[in-house]
Chains A and B, each alone.
Chain A
Amino acid sequence: MRGITALLVAVLVAVPPATAMQAHAAGDEPGEYLDRRVEIWNLFFRLMVVAFTIGAIVSGTMVWQVWRFRESNPNAKPTPYEEKGEW
């Protein structure tokens, strides 16, 4: 679980600088206005893909967790911490 979390965090850390560098590479000179606009829309669509993919995964996980780990689920079992009464 920790490994998966670390991987997800690493991806989230890596994506913004990479996309920003692409935007920067699009140039700042007036003559390159059209290219820059194309690059920016590219960036936008990529961000949309990233946001919606991660959004779907996280939201789906949350919905599944709510269903699976609710105490009324037939498969629910006491957590190890309940026996000690401390958490």
Chain B
Amino acid sequence: MTLEMQRPRPVWQIMFSTHHTDVGLLYLITSLAFLFLGGALALAIRVELFLPGSQFIADSMTFNRIFTVHGTTLIFLFILPFASAVGNYFVPIMVRYKDMAYPKLNAIAFWMIPPSGALIWLGFADFTWYATPPYSIISAPGPAADMWIFGLKILGISSVLGAINFVVTIMKCKHPDMSLGQVPLLAWSFLSSSLIILVAIPTFAAALLMLLTDRLGVSGFFNPAMGGDPIAYAHLFWFTFHPEVYVLVIPAIGMMYEIIPRFSRKPIFSYNSGVFAFVLLAIVGFSSWAHHMYATGMSFTEKTVFMVGTLAAVPASAMHVFNFLATMWNGRIRFATPMMWSVGGIALFFSAGAGGVVNAAMPLDFTTHDTYWVVGHFHLFVMGTIAFGSIGYLYYMFPYVTGRMYHEKMGQAHFVMSFIGAVLVFYTQHVLGLYGMPRRVYDYPAIPEWIAMNQIATVGAMLIGVSMVLFLANMIHSSAKGRPAGMDDPWKLGGKYYYPYQNKNPQH
């Protein structure tokens, strides 16, 4: 067994290790640290919006800085590194290999994250996670914007290195007796998302360089004053970051594929449809980027093409949902903490997807463009689906990492409060958008409906904040003093604690 906490070692030994579970542990701790930092910024945003007028944030630029760093942190420094943590821990074991294919490259990919996190946080840029040109070129304040660009550049390289490692580990290093059709769905999810990264990230890497040279004044790709076009940046950005949504969500779905059969006490209903849906999502993810840009003056035909491209993701997403429902059918389900998070995640995934289908239709998109609807929709995916799947899996892997059990009641309270909080915040934000409130504003007129809905959303956010304090206390206390986990069956479900946990790759 890999019992990180029960086998104390000097910290430097873990820090300079290239073993996949050590690198996984570093990814895990780093991503959780950024989860709490980014979450604290979210609470600051919600407190500011509790009432119209300025509450405690001095000016709009400070507010812009806060939501820029909030978004950048939670997407690039929490969700992606958390997925890498899970992949590092389990992919080599699932494909029965001694480590990742390139262990040193793996460690290098991790060690790029702390400096990029430092660049983003010390700079505290203000131009949104989209780095909106031409503002980002012409007047975004100096070092902060450049630090953000360099931070993202380094994170992009880290993602590409990690993706290469996952693809080679799964495709070339799996046990010779194991066909690709026997690779667990969690590993398949990493294969699919890694392939998306390899295709999508280089475009954004180029866009970042162009943005930087524009800022330096040596080019004018996106600067209208020099004949450039900010819409070109929008195309390059969304060509990367719409598929990136699938990079974020696919591993979370892979994690649910581990948890749901285990706690339903049944095998997965259809392995093949799971694989098919992952591959399909990876492909159709590239056919919908311009649905973010309906309002930029595209022709009707272009908009129709991207509307259809967006809707093409529906069957693949629905296949996952039906697969989960069919797996749970006729099961004997134990609603332990990981299962509660997974089922809650599926419910919110479905809500987010249904909202996305409606939103993909051009008329509603024009109605909701740049309103709080978009904030609600996006967060229902990243918080409701991805964070729920990830946190559920964190509880699931907790015994494996620490050798101890977390506090079950606290875990369940964490889920209930977060679920209610997520519904209060993100469903309300959808309605707020339909009432016309624009996003990315730090003040708003005193319209009674807007005030009421902002207050509901802030109460929901506070509920999530309190639940996260419970979560942190549970993790710290249980990893030090939790009761020892029975590693063959920590939840006493019968059978065995899923097969990857029976193996251990020796240190090297």
Binding site for B on A (CB under 8 A): 1, 5, 8-9, 12-13, 15-17, 19-20, 23-24, 28, 36-37, 40-41, 43-44, 47-48, 50-52, 54-55, 58-59, 61-62, 65-66, 69-71, 76-79, 81-82, 84-87
Quick one: given A12-B318, A62-B346, are A17 and B266 in contact (CB under 8 Å)? no
CA distance A15 to B319 in the complex (A): 15
Instruction: Tell which of B125-133, B137-145, B232-240, B357-365 binds the partner.
Output: B357-365
- Nearest B-chain residue to A58, judged by Cβ: B350
> Complex: how many Å from CA A49 to CA B269?
29
Interface of B is mostly: helix
Q: Which residues of A contact B496 (CB under 8 A)?
A: 85-86
Contact A43 B361 (CB under 8 A): yes
- Chain B residues near A40 (CB, 8 Å)? 361-363
Q: Are B261 and A20 in contact (CB-based, < 8 A)?
A: no
Contact A59 B330 (CB under 8 A): no
Count of residues in B whose CB is under 8 Å from the partner chain: 47
A41-B363, A58-B350 are known contacts. Are A16 and B330 too (CB-CB below 8 A)?
Answer: no
Closest 3 CB pairs of A and B: A16-B311, A85-B495, A20-B308
B300 on the A face (CB < 8 A): yes
Are B354 and A51 in touch, CB under 8 angstroms? yes
Instruction: Using known A-B contacts A48-B358, A71-B332, A71-B333, determine if residue A28 contacts B318 with beta carbons closer than 8 Å.
Output: no
Given contact pairs A16-B314, A66-B333, A55 touches B328 in the complex (Cβ within 8 A)? no
B361 and A65: CB pair below 8 A? Answer: no
Interface on B for A, CB 8 Å cutoff?
A: 261-262, 264-267, 269-270, 299-301, 304, 307-308, 311-312, 314-315, 318-319, 321-322, 325-326, 328-335, 343, 346-347, 350-351, 354, 357-358, 361-364, 494-496
The prevalent SS among residues of A at the interface is helix
Q: Which of B264, B265, B319 has the most CB of A within 10 A?
A: B265
Contacts of A71 in B (CB 8 A): 332-335
Say how far A17's CB is from chain B's closest CB, in angstroms: 7
Q: Indicate which residue in B267, B315, B329, B350 contacts A81 across the interface (CB closer than 8 Å).
A: B267
Across the interface, do B322 and A9 meet the contact criterion of CB distance under 8 Å?
Answer: yes
- The winner among A55, A59, A77, A84 for most chain B CB atoms within 10 A is A55
Given A12-B318, A82-B495, is A62 in contact with B266 using a C-beta cutoff of 8 Å? no
Roughly how many angstroms separate A76 CA and B331 CA in the complex, as a whole number? 8
> Complex: how many Å from CA A28 to CA B494?
62
